[in-house]
Structure 1
Amino acid sequence: MSQSENTDPVVSKRARNAAEEITNNPMWDVMSDVWCPSMNPMGYVNVGIAENTLMHDPLLSFLNKKLELPSKYLTYNDGGGGSSRLRQAMARFLNRHLHPATPLDASHLIITNGVSPAIEHVSWAFADPGEGILLGKPFYGTFIPDMSLRPGSEVVEVDFGDCDPFSTEAVFKYEQALLDFQLKRERKVRALMLCHPHNPLGRCYSREVIIQLMRLCEKYKVHFISDEIYALSVWENTVDQVPPPVQFESALSIDLAGIIDPRLVHVLWGLSKDFGANGMRLGTIISQANGHLHEAMKGISLYSYASGISDHLASLLLENDNFTDWYIRENQKKLSECYVHTVQYLRKHNIEYATGCNAAFFLWVDLGKKYCDLHPDVKMEQVDDRVMQSLLQNKVFLASGTLFGSERPGWFRIVFSQPREYLEEALKRMVEALE
């Protein structure tokens, strides 16, 4: 690149910001060089990206037998918000599994090409540039660009300190963050984003806490958004019960009467996690009482139009109760087994982790403490970079807590939803990197 190109960029400031996001995250380099024991033994072992490959074989077997694409899926079909068939199939499926207080209807759903576009859409719809959206720490790292990079909303990160982020006491932390932002920035907070079940902590919010957060949103007329992309990836924890695991209950299952204006409540879901199908790029925004949101989404649905092929495959899948019921049970069983195996490995090597998980496919682990025990010359403020450098040199990728808003240094996220051989290789390389 020439000097003039360095000093006189030919793209917008927002484009340069997006480029910086990529530069600071090694994820894309890792994804293009993935380890395979026979084909690419020198590649990265990737346990940093939230993918579940445990049930790929039965899912592919089901879909490949069913695939016969009707010609209408080569057209614009029923529009950018998803086909009528898919919205009906998804509404019926979610009624069976999320037990909404008010049954879902196809008209309540807006289909998007993944949940990330759904997050971006609700940020755009509820907050003008510079206005705030509350997000508790630690958080799914990509929430930040999803909500702010193009919509221009400002993510208001909520600190908890020693307070359990899943407790009723944490509700006051959200309120304080809201008041501080509105006082200092003289801008409104417009929404609260909840990841339920939680990424990266692998826990569920209790019904009581969800209701208290809804009451907080009602008090300040703030939208309550529950990202429930891991809703069906809840499993039995047989190895650690402190804090006691909380069973998942969807925000949709709560009768909102006397709690919050139903126009302020929205739920996100998709196939990426519960069905291990990130590549299908299919999600949904569920809003049962906000017609203004639905009208706004029609205006921008062209920019998140799901592929007709994904629409068709998802319809076939969600219409088959026998297969999906079996799939969910088997997936939950395998996730539980992988969690146990990973925990036992961590304990064997004296690596601390956040206990009490029973959802999603993560462990939140303190690699910094182990690294400093082995390398006493390293200062704690250096540990995140040192550990990440060592991991990458050892060709294993974990997500760093620095990108997840961790309030303490040294924490990383392990994704354990991988076949045993792959997971074993990742854990082995991780321990070697620390040593």
Structure 2
Amino acid sequence: MFFEAQSDLWSPDNPDGYIALAVAENRLTTELVQQGLQAHGGFPAAMLYYQDMRGIPELRQAIAGMLQDSFMQGISELRQAIAGMLQDSFMQGVQIDPQHLSVLAGVGAVLDLLFQCIAEPGDGVLIPAPYYPAFDNDLRVRNQVTTLPVHLDSQQQDFAAALDAAAEAAAAAGHPVSALMFTHPSNPQGTLFSRQQLASMMQWCLRRKVHCISDEVYANSVFDESQQFVSAAHLLQQEVRSMEGSQHAGELVHIVFGFSKDFCASGLRVGCLLTKNTGLNKALDNISYFNSTPCPLQWSLSQLLSDKQWLQHYLQENRRRLREAYASVTSGLDAAGIPYTAAPAGMFLWVDLRAAFGGQPGSWEDEAALWRCMAQQHRVVLTPGAACHAAEPGWFRVCYAWTSPGSLPAAVSRIAAAVKQMQGSAS
């Protein structure tokens, strides 16, 4: 349905076109990234030759700096740039060694190679649900690991009991758990784990000696200024010292991020892994050859990320535009009386459309019928909760940064109309 919708999208000149709200992609600040890359488009002739397959030094250093100034393997220039970017953004206060960074052809490639190294076919991977629908394919298609949704109570600060129960059930089913992977901020909910919740998950992994993977691909998209993002890297620098099994943290904790979401650049295919695991990094020195990012692109990105003035302007402007789009869609939902989970980050909302079931609990078949009603009759395409392993039917993911901001009021009106239509059918 999404590809059908792409051929007839909403625009001011086509107000009856489809409104696609099913792609977790940010197009709000595309022109800033395009202009920045064009300004740094030249590259040395050496970039046409073989370089470090885990990332050029310049890029890794730039990324480390970016992370340290905000929230937190390719050619060495790129790894240096990435290290700088991390230190300048969502990993502020964290010291990052570019040698611990790998730059590959997208986060999907990062996860593919990571699980090739840390898991065996049939192993279980616990993932707090609801979660990004493509994880099932990304982890299973080549490495044949089993994704295991686990529903955690967001009101709890300690998840150990729930994770223990999930791991025991997985083992009984023949899927010994080798990793816990969580997305922070969450996709599809746009919510953040608290520092205590992150610590409880990391402690659980260290105690059980299973891998802890923090997917921080949306970490530079926290637009609510009252909320503070805490990276797993911060815990590695502080709380982990007092944790049971802390001596294993370097080999078990891995952080994944990239440029598809925060930098409106899904087509560039640049994903990163930050890990202190020496054996894993040595393995990536070899197998990253099959998933490396082109060196000229790495060079251009390293120069862009090293431009501190551009980086800070971009991050601030991107958050501002996300905040405006979020306000636009939530004001419409509020006016329509449609509940949702408040989201301080990301580019999506977790919307409660259970009212369409006419006061009844509803089934997954009912949810599918509502999705068809919205997509086929009202021409608005959302992601159904079933695809995200939701705990119950009736929840949908709304991605509000892919479509034109001008389409959002119409999108909410169409959603509300579909809910009302289904209510009439259910009564």
Question: Is 1:119 equivalent to 2:111 in the alignment?
Answer: yes
Q: SS at 1:406's partner residue?
A: coil
What CA distance in whole angstroms lies between the structure 2 residues aligned with 1:391 and 1:378? 19
Q: CA deviation at 1:327?
A: 1.0
Which of residues 234, 246, 253 in structure 2 aligns to 1:253? 234
Q: Secondary structure of 1:96's match?
A: coil
Give 1:227 shift: 0.3
From 398, 401, 407, the counterpart of 2:391: 407
For residue 184 of structure 1, the aligned residue among 173, 192, 195 is 173
CA contact (8 A) 2:5 2:19 kept: no
**1:365 equivalenced with 2:351 (yes/no):** yes
Q: Out of 409, 416, 422, which is 1:424 matched to?
A: 409
Asked if 1:206 corresponds to 2:194, the answer is yes
Residue 51 of structure 2 is aligned to residue 62 of structure 1: no
Query: Where does 1:120-139 land on structure 2 (aligned, <5 Å)?
Result: 120-139=112-131
Checking the alignment, whether the CA contact within 8 Å between 1:112 and 1:118 is kept in structure 2 is yes
Pairing 1:78–2:67 present: no
Q: Relative to structure 2, which stretch is displaced further, 213-222 or 258-267?
A: 258-267
- Give the secondary structure class of the aligned counterpart of 1:278: coil
1:325 counterpart SS class: helix
Amino acid at match of 1:111: V
> Which deviations, in whole Å up to 9, do the C-alpha atoms of 1:41-69 show, x marking residues without a partner?
66532111011111112222222232124
| In structure 2, C-alpha distance between the alignment counterparts of 1:365 and 1:316, rounded to whole Å | 40
TM-score (norm 2): 0.86
Equivalent position amino acid for 2:113 in 1: H
CA distance in 2, matches of 1:142, 1:220: 27
Matched residue, 1:9: none
Query: Could you tell me whether the CA contact under 8 Å between 2:81 and 2:306 is conserved in 1?
Result: yes
The counterpart of 2:203, out of the listed 210, 215, 226, is 215
Count of residues in correspondence between the two structures: 393
1:349 aligns with 2:336: yes
**SS of alignment partner, residue 229 of structure 2:** coil
Q: Structure 1 426/92 Cα, relative in aligned 2: closer, same or farther at 3 Å?
A: same
Percent sequence identity over matched residues?
Answer: 29
- Measured after TM superposition, the shift of residue 152 of structure 1 is 0.6
Pairing 1:255-334 to 2, within 5 Å after superposition: 255=237, 256-259=240-243, 260=246, 261=248, 262-288=250-276, 290-334=277-321
Counterpart amino acid of residue 348 in structure 2 = F
Match of 1:398 in 2: 382
Contact 2:255 2:273 (C-alpha < 8 Å) held by counterparts: yes
Query: In the TM superposition, what are the counterparts of 1:24-39 in structure 2 within 5 Å?
Result: 26-27=1-2, 29-30=3-4, 32-33=6-7, 35-37=9-11
Aligned to 1:15: none
5+ residue gaps in structure 1? 1-25, 238-244
CA distance in 2, matches of 1:110, 1:377: 50
Say which SS state the counterpart of residue 60 (structure 1) adopts. Answer: helix
Counterpart secondary structure, 1:272: coil
Which residue matches 2:367?
384
Q: Report the 3-state secondary structure (helix = DSSP H, G, I; strand = E; otherwise coil) of the residue aligned with 1:49.
A: coil
Residues 309 and 35 from structure 1, CA distance in 2 versus in 1: closer, same or farther, beyond 3 angstroms?
A: farther
Q: Is the 8 A contact 2:256 2:273 kept in 1?
A: yes
Q: Secondary structure at the match of 1:156?
A: strand
8 Å contact kept, 1:34–1:46: no
The DSSP-based 3-state class of the residue aligned with 2:273 is: strand
Counterpart residue type for residue 172 of structure 2 = L
Distance apart, 1:96 and its partner CA: 2.4
User: What secondary structure sits across from 2:212 in the alignment?
Assistant: strand
Shift in Å, 1:84: 0.6
| Contact residue 139 and residue 405 of structure 1 kept, 8 A | yes
CA distance in 2, matches of 1:74, 1:32: 36
Query: 1:143 and 1:117 mapped to 2: Cα distance?
Result: 12
Q: Give 2:84's match in structure 1, choosing from 70, 92, 112.
A: 92
Question: SS of 1:286's equivalent?
Answer: strand
- The DSSP-based 3-state class of the residue aligned with 2:220 is coil
2:299 alignment partner AA: H
**Pairwise CA distance, 1:424:** 3.0
Q: CA deviation at 1:30?
A: 4.6
CA change 1:412–1:225 in 2 (3 A) is same
CA gap 1:347/1:295 in 2 versus in 1, 3 angstroms: same
Q: CA offset at residue 343 of structure 1?
A: 1.1
- Cα distance, 1:34–1:104 mapped onto 2, change above 3 Å: farther
Q: CA deviation at 1:142?
A: 0.8
TM-score, L = length of structure 1: 0.84
Worse-matched range after superposition: 126-135 or 90-99: 90-99
CA contact (8 A) 1:203 1:246 kept: no
Q: CA, structure 1 residues 72+391, in 2 after alignment: closer, same or farther (shift >3 Å)?
A: farther
- Counterparts in 2 of 1:415 and 1:66: CA distance versus 1, 3 Å: same
Q: Is the 1:350–1:370 Cα contact (8 Å) retained in structure 2?
A: no
Structure 1 segments (4+ residues) deviating >6 Å: 38-42
Whole-angstrom distance in 1 between the partners of 2:256 and 2:181 = 10
CA distance change for structure 1 residues 66 and 430 in 2, over 3 Å: closer, same or farther?
Answer: same
Task: Tell me: CA distance 1:44–1:312, structure 2 relative to 1, closer, same or farther (3 Å).
Answer: farther
Cα distance in 2 for residues equivalent to 1:176 and 1:366: 28
Greater shift in the superposed pair: 133-142 or 249-258:
249-258
| 1:197 partnered with 2:185 | yes
Structure 2 match to 1:50:
24
Paired with 2:17 and 2:48, the residues of 1 have a C-alpha distance of 37
**What is the identity, as a one-letter code, of the residue corresponding to 1:180?**
A
1:433 aligns with 2:418: yes
Q: Residues 222-256 of structure 1: CA distance to partner in whole angstroms, max 9, x if unpaired? A: 1110000111111227xxxxxxx752111101223
Give the aligned residue type for 1:322.
Q
Asked if the contact 1:134–1:156 (Cα under 8 Å) also holds between the matched residues in 2, the reply is: yes
Opposite residue 205 of structure 2, the aligned amino acid is C
